[in-house]
Structure 1
Amino acid sequence: MKVLIAGGAGFIGSTIASACLDTGITPVILDNLSTGRAEFVKDRIFYRGDIADRSLIDRIFAEHPEIEAAVHCAALIVVPESVAHPLRYYQENVGKSIDFLSALVANECERFLFSSSAAIYQPGEDFAVDEASPISGTSPYAESKAMVERVLADAAHAYPLRVLSLRYFNPVGADPKMRTGLQVARPSHVLGKMIEAARTGAPFQVTGADWPTRDGSGIRDYVHVWDLAQAHVEALRRFDTVIDGSQRPYQVINLGTGNGTTVRELLDAFTAVLGRPIPTVTAPRRPGDSAGTYTRSDRARRLLEWEPTLSLKEGLQHSLSWAELRDEVLGSDPG
């Protein structure tokens, strides 16, 4: 099987590509390298370009007519940046996704996996959500994911197209074989900030201490990126049984652990793995932040026969191991 992976030079996309290769699926990678890395596509089938470039996508399918599915991981993902630059996020995440989808339909690619986000959910009273929970994004990033889902649902009912929308919770870790990991040197998410604090001595900021959670800090469902990648492999293998094109051509599946971990609990786990404390301060909420969610759904287990196998501790260990290797693999550039 060959699979087109848009955004396959990024953190999650490259990990999915590695998982595919390990199981005999050949990834064909499309990435403009705006945030992805050329090092992550070495010795892989790679096309550098934009998902909105129709002529390039036509060329990819002409050269690889055996492509059976597309995985769409290409997106901008920084929440505060999306608040500051909403038009850029809607153009990149929504507008270009429509262009990409149009090209796939024209090339008769009928299986589509979309990298969505749990950020689209409106948290319930206990912060647990399932696939039927209300949708209410708190940032342009989250809204862009929800908008693309609406486009995909309509397209799946109008064209010979079947769609699995995989709603990720919060990825941590790296490829356990250390082939790829988080590519940015100074990530904006909570674990990246903890690692930066450990390396530089700069205080880690607990952004928001007045959320209605058990300790006042935000709550998240931290799932290992390798487990996410394995879920994609299972989705590709079982696509035709999960999606009945005549009855339900569009399906959503949460990908999380089912465990809610607050930022302060994550900090405790991180310092335990690190073996020492890091300087910590409390700071105001960031623009676009929410209290957070975790999944209570077992749909992934039922439909994909998938459940996470790697622990939060392993995710933290792999994140720290990758942080030590990152500059050696990618260089010490500020990106």
Structure 2
Amino acid sequence: MPMKVLITGGAGFIGSTVASAFVERGVTPVVLDSLVTGRQEFTDGKIFYQGDIGDGALIDGIFRDHPDIAVTVHCAALIVVPESMADPQRYYRVNLAKTLELAGHLVRNRCDRMIFASTAGMYRPEADLSVTETSALEPQNPYTRSKMMAELMLEDLSAAYGLRVISLRYLNPIGADPRMRTGLQHSRPSHALGKMIQSYEQGVPFRITGVGWETRDGTAIRDYIHVWDIARAFYEAASRFDAILPPVQAAGRQRGYQVINLGTGDGTTVRELVDAFREVVGDGFQAEEALPAPATWSARSSIRPRRASCSAGGPSTPSRRRSGTRSSGRPAAASWTWPDPDPHDPAPTGPPARAVRSFRPNQAGRTERAGRVTPPHPSEATSRAHA
């Protein structure tokens, strides 16, 4: 009998892509989404329940209908940093309090496996501006604090109630489903690639803010990760769950909580991302240098997930890729070809989507390997699109 997984937030950017990755591997996703930010068309062809993760009666009904659900993938969350600063109460209610309610519903229904979609934005950079799973936590805003607090809470619940939780932390997801079934549900993502798309559509140069950093080409580095690679990591975590976190025994309890970072290991500079985007749309895309944004505090962002190499299927040696165009061109193309989700936005002035060559995400194991992460500065990472 095929495995079934419950995916909360399964109509959002990350959740819907995770659902497609499971389908392609013979796993049946059961999608739960309130559609507050998700898109119903992303649930087409899948088992779908519309509702809130805190609705205990709904969760109970889902498990009555599908008692063979083996794992819950928890992607439902609010994820926009500026919004979290303007309305922190809402973020703590949704990301923390409702995660607590969901965990209680799972325990009651004897579903003891959860994979939590988290963020590497909660880390404090180390001396070399990188972080690993053991780095200190120092979240800078209500969004990342709500995720950190949710993780601490889940760790406590795992110790008390036998719930087992794998937390996957990552930054800067970009791209779209390789088959263009799903993509960003927001028309104007605030990361650098989103700004490049916006600049190209408006026919104005993209501004490279800061060119004097101590990096390989003077521009800031971000650890962009293709959303399909994230989705594959969720599948690997689900399929190997009991190997990563064995069932808790009544005697001799063992740890029921595990953090795994996801990243490329070296990151991509802004100039490399510009070159990758220009390969996709042509030489008409222009970029100009500008002074660093006032909020800038970090030049690097690259993830070193020490555990992903053995837990999520990647190789055991660190990735030290230097070329950003090969690793970033694929998600750049996917982001550009993904249709604009807002019909009221102006139409692109660039080439039609069908004229843009098709790219695929990295080869198996490429992004779930040992690498580094440094949290991006607030001016570039105002949105974590993984709900």
Same fold, TM-score > 0.5, yes or no: yes
Larger radius of gyration between Structure 1 and Structure 2 = 2
Structure 2 residue runs of 5 or longer lacking an equivalent are: 320-325, 346-387
1:113 to 2:120 alignment: no
Structure 1 stretches of 4+ with a deviation exceeding 6 A read: 208-212, 286-289
Match among 307, 311, 314 for residue 303 of structure 1 = 311
Q: Evaluate the alpha carbon distance shift between residue 282 and residue 141 of structure 1 in structure 2; reply closer, same or farther with a 3 A threshold.
A: farther
- Which whole-Å deviations, capped at 9, do the CAs of 1:104-142 have from their partners, x for residues lacking one? 111111000000111011112322211001111111111
2: CA distance, partners of 1:31 / 1:289: 35
Q: Which amino acid in the other structure matches residue 25 of structure 1?
A: V
Contact 1:197 1:204 (C-alpha < 8 Å) held by counterparts: yes
Alignment partner of 1:278 out of 280, 286, 310: 286
Pair 1:248-2:259 in alignment: no
Match of 2:374 in 1: none
Tell me, in whole angstroms, the C-alpha distance in 1 between the residues paired with 2:80 and 2:236: 28
Gap regions ≥5 residues in structure 1: none
Which residue of 337, 343, 349 corresponds with 1:332? 343
Structure 1, residues 138-168: CA drift from partner, whole Å, max 9, x if none? 1111111111110111111011210100001
8 Å Cα contact 1:110-1:160 kept in structure 2: yes
Q: Could you tell me how far apart the structure 1 residues matched to 2:186 and 2:35 are?
A: 12
Q: Pick from 14, 19, 22: which aligns with 1:20?
A: 22
Counterpart position of 2:36: 34
**Pairing partner for 2:133 from 107, 131, 134:** 131
Q: Tell me the distance in 2 between the aligned counterparts of 1:83 and 1:212.
A: 30
- Residue 260 of structure 1 corresponds to 267
Which structure shows the higher strand fraction?
Answer: 1
**Cα offset, 1:286, TM superposition:** 7.6
Counterpart amino acid of 2:307? Answer: R
- Percent sequence identity over aligned pairs: 53
Q: Report how many aligned residue pairs link the two structures.
A: 329
1:268 partner SS:
helix
Name 1:186's counterpart in structure 2: 188
Query: CA contact under 8 A between 1:207 and 1:286: conserved in structure 2?
Result: no
The CA RMSD measured in Å over matched residues stands at: 2.5
1:80–1:287 contact (8 Å) kept in structure 2? no
Contact 2:211 2:289 survives alignment (8 Å): no
Cα distance, 1:207 vs structure 2: 5.5
Q: Report the Cα offset of residue 209 of structure 1.
A: 6.6
Q: Following TM superposition, by how much is the alpha carbon of 1:290 offset from its aligned partner in structure 2, in angstroms? A: 5.4
Name which of 331, 335, 345 aligns with 1:315.
Answer: 331
Whole-Å separation in 2 of the counterparts to 1:216 and 1:54: 52
What CA deviation, in whole Å up to 9, does each residue of 1:195-219 have, x standing for no partner? 1111122554546678776666543
Provide the rounded CA distance (Å) in 2 between the counterparts of 1:149 and 1:239.
Answer: 18
More moved, 52-61 vs 208-217: 208-217
Which letter does structure 2 place at the counterpart of 1:256?
G
Asked whether the 8 Å contact 2:118–2:167 carries over to 1, the reply is yes
Partner of 2:147: 145
Q: 1:238 to 1:267 in 2, by over 3 A?
A: same
Q: Does residue 80 of the first structure (1) align with residue 69 of the second (2)?
A: no
Contact 2:279 2:329 in 1 (8 A): no
Q: Which stretch has the larger CA shift, 297-306 or 73-82?
A: 297-306
